[in-house]
Chains A and B, each alone.
Chain A
Amino acid sequence: MIRTDLSAGARRLALACAALLVAACGSTAPSRFYVLTPTAGSELGASSALGAVALAPVVLPRSVDRSQIVTRRASNEVSLAEFARWAEPLEENVARVIEQNLEARLGESSVFDSDSRWGPDAAFIVAVVVQEFDAVIDGACTLVARLHVSDGAGTWLATRSVRAQNTSSESGAAGVAQAMSANLHELSERIVATLQELHAGG
Chain B
Amino acid sequence: MTADSTTSDSRDSAAAPTAVVRKRKGFQVVWVIPMVAALVGGWLWYRALQDKGPEITITFATADGLEAGKTKIKFKDLEIGEVSGVTLADNMEHVIASVELVAGSERYLTDQTRFWVVRPRIGAGGISGLGTIVSGAYIAADVSLDGTPAKAFTGLEEPPARPANAEGLRVKLRSPALGSINTGTSITHLQIKMGDVEGYTYLRDEELIEFDLYIEAEYAELVRENTRFWSASGFDVTLGTDGFDIHADSLESILMGGIAFGSAPNETPGQRASAGHVFTLYDSKSAAGEISNNPRRTIAYFNEPIRGLAPGSPVDFQGIVIGKVLEVGVAANRDTGTFMIPVVLETYPDRLMTTDNADTEEHGQILARLVERGLRAQLGPANLVTGARSVLVDLHPDTPATLMGHHDDGTPEIPTIPSTGEALTKMLDELPQIVSGLNDTVNTVSELVSAPRTAQTLDSLNSASAQLDQLLRGSDTAMNLLATNLPAMQQQLSDTLHELALSMRSLASLTDFLERHPEALLRGKSASGDL
B523 beta carbon closer than 8 Å to chain A: yes
Q: Is the CB of A82 within 8 A of B523?
A: no
Partner-binding segment picked from A66-74, A122-130, A150-158, A187-195: A66-74
Q: Could you list 26 examples of A-B contacts with CB < 8 Å? A: A23-B523, A24-B522, A24-B523, A26-B523, A28-B520, A28-B525, A29-B525, A29-B527, A29-B530, A66-B509, A67-B505, A67-B509, A69-B531, A71-B531, A79-B529, A81-B530, A82-B527, A82-B530, A83-B527, A83-B530, A83-B531, A84-B531, A89-B505, A137-B531, A172-B531, A173-B531
Set B502, B509, B523, B530: member contacting A84, Cβ < 8 A: B530
Q: How far is B531's CA from A172's CA once the two chains are assembled, in angstroms? A: 6
A63 beta carbon closer than 8 Å to chain B: no
Q: Is the CB of A67 within 8 A of B530?
A: no
Number of A-B residue pairs, CB cutoff 8 Å, is 40
Known A67-B509, A172-B531, A173-B531; judge A83-B502 contact (CB<8 A): no
Q: How far is B531's CA from A184's CA once the two chains are assembled, in angstroms? A: 23
| Residues of chain A within 8 A of B526, CB atoms compared | 29
Q: Is the interface of B mostly helix, strand, loop or mixed?
A: helix
A27 beta carbon closer than 8 Å to chain B: yes
A117 beta carbon closer than 8 Å to chain B: yes
B462 beta carbon closer than 8 Å to chain A: no
| Residues of chain A within 8 A of B490, CB atoms compared | 117
Q: How far is B524's CA from A71's CA once the two chains are assembled, in angstroms? A: 23
A 154-199 contacts with B by CB, 8 A: 172-173
Q: How large is the interface on B (under 10, 10 to 19, 20 to 34, 35 or more residues)?
A: 10 to 19
| Residues of chain A within 8 A of B506, CB atoms compared | 67
| Residues of chain A within 8 A of B244, CB atoms compared | none
Q: How far is B525's CA from A89's CA once the two chains are assembled, in angstroms? A: 21
| Residues of chain B within 8 A of A26, CB atoms compared | 523-524
| Residues of chain B within 8 A of A117, CB atoms compared | 487, 490
Known A23-B523, A84-B531; judge A68-B509 contact (CB<8 A): yes
B45 beta carbon closer than 8 Å to chain A: no
Q: How far is B524's CA from A23's CA once the two chains are assembled, in angstroms? A: 10
What sequence of 0s and 1s flags, for each residue 18-31 of chain A, a beta carbon within 8 Å of any chain B beta carbon?
Answer: 00000110111100
B 482-513 contacts with A by CB, 8 A: 487, 490, 502, 505-506, 509, 513
| Residues of chain A within 8 A of B509, CB atoms compared | 66-68
Q: How far is B490's CA from A68's CA once the two chains are assembled, in angstroms? A: 31
